[in-house]
Amino acid sequence: MLKTAICDLFGIEYPIIQGGMAYLGTAELVSAVSNAGGLGIIGAGNSEPDWVRQQIRLTRQLTDKPFGVNILLMSPFAEQVVDVVLEERVAVVTTGAGNPGVYIPRFKQAGIKVMPVLASVALAKRLERAGVDAVVAEGMESGGHIGEVTTMALVPQVVDGVQIPVVAAGGIGDGRGLAAALALGAQGVQIGTRFVCSEECIAHPGYKQKILQAHERSTVASGQSTGHPLRCLQNRLTRQFEEMEKAGVSKEELESFGMNRYYQGAIEGNLDNGSLIAGQVAGLIKEIKPVRVIIDEMMTEAEAIIAGLKNSYSED
Ligand code: TUI
């Protein structure tokens, strides 16, 4: 059995964490992941604090296992979501798209485990000093807001840079990815795109189908010029965005053009004009499955790979 420091830290069975995806990290998906032995994460995204509170309470009705909340630090409601998480005494907080440093003392005082998602060694070191319990090192293969370094290069450098456990994210969609992440020194994986194509995820069926049809080059990172690139499946919106970027449209105009597109794509199923956030691993996903099956298959495959490696080493 693959038990790691991350399992002990969060009190979970398997070292598999569900990425806190905005609009999709709802009580349905979160409770399914936690009930299957992983760590489900509510995605606060840009949602109102009351919605986050409601999802926390709903999740508690559906599971008695640990789960977390992801706080999108660039959300206009980030401060209020922090208050909700403290009031509700959620077990784990992850953060994205910024530096959560100012909030850490309050989380620690409340006994909440903190695991920021980041894309650089420097920020990992700084946040370790600030007292976080673990970090997620997220490579640019990921869907959504991304950094500039690949998972393969970033994870071992973060592992070497800190003493706390490191979780790998970006480009991981099956047991091979989990085994590879462990080989890089990570203590677990965070998975987003694979869980979008689960039965329990409330993503629009058309969006799930687009992921199933994707190949390895179906995603594109739009908005490099804004400083906040977003990886999505290529569609009419990303092509329009690219043309506007080439034409030298201002950063402000590009950002307002991209606003609220994710809800349209993920929930409303607007496949042409919505953002269909997905990681490069989309090409690997062939079937919609229940969360429990996704997790069980991932664990079985990783364990077989690791056992095989041990055997092949010991034969020489
Ligand atoms: O945050 C993500 N992924 C995201 S955020 C996002 S935005 C959004 N999505 C849907 C609806 C509304 C809004 C979509 N996907 N991943 C974690 C992540 N964080 N990747 C990179 C970073 C990051 C970048 C810079 C973390 C810290 C950071 O530091 C800045 C600093 O101040 O040092």
Grouped pLDDT means (10 residues each) for the chain, 316 residues: 94 98 98 98 97 98 98 96 98 96 97 98 98 98 97 98 98 98 98 98 98 98 89 96 89 83 96 97 98 98 92 66
Q: pLDDT (tens digit, 9 = 90+) per residue, 60-116?
A: 999 999 999 999 999 999 999 999 999 999 999 999 999 999 999 999 999 999 999
CATH number of the domain within which 121 lies: 3.20.20.70
Site residues for ligand 1, CB cut-off 6 Å: 22, 45-46, 72, 96-99, 117-119, 123, 138, 144-147, 262
**Same domain flag for 63 and 141:** yes
Residue 164's closest CA among 2, 3, 6, 1? 6
User: Which residue has a Cα nearest atom 5 of ligand 1?
Assistant: 145
* CA angle, 122 then 110 then 74, to 5°: 45
- Give the SS3 label for residue 89: coil
Predicted TM-score of the model (pTM) = 0.96
Residue in this structure with the two tokens 């034969």, named with its chain if needed: 315
How many domains, the chain? 2
Q: pLDDT (tens digit, 9 = 90+) per residue, 226-239?
A: 888 999 999 999 99
Cα separation of 239 and 177, whole Å?
Answer: 30
Structure token digits, residue 255: 């950002």
On whether residue 309 sits in a domain, the answer given is no
Give the domain range for residue 247: 219-277
**Same domain flag for 20 and 91:** yes
Residue among 77, 118, 120 to mutate when testing ligand 1 (max atoms within 8 A of CB): 118
Which amino acid is it at 69? V
On whether residue 208 sits in a domain, the answer given is no
On whether residue 11 sits in a domain, the answer given is yes
**Same domain flag for 153 and 36:** yes
Cα separation of 289 and 180, whole Å?
Answer: 23
pLDDT of residue 259: 80
**Same domain flag for 13 and 160:** yes
Compute φ and ψ for 36, nearest 5 degrees. -85, 0
On whether residue 207 sits in a domain, the answer given is no
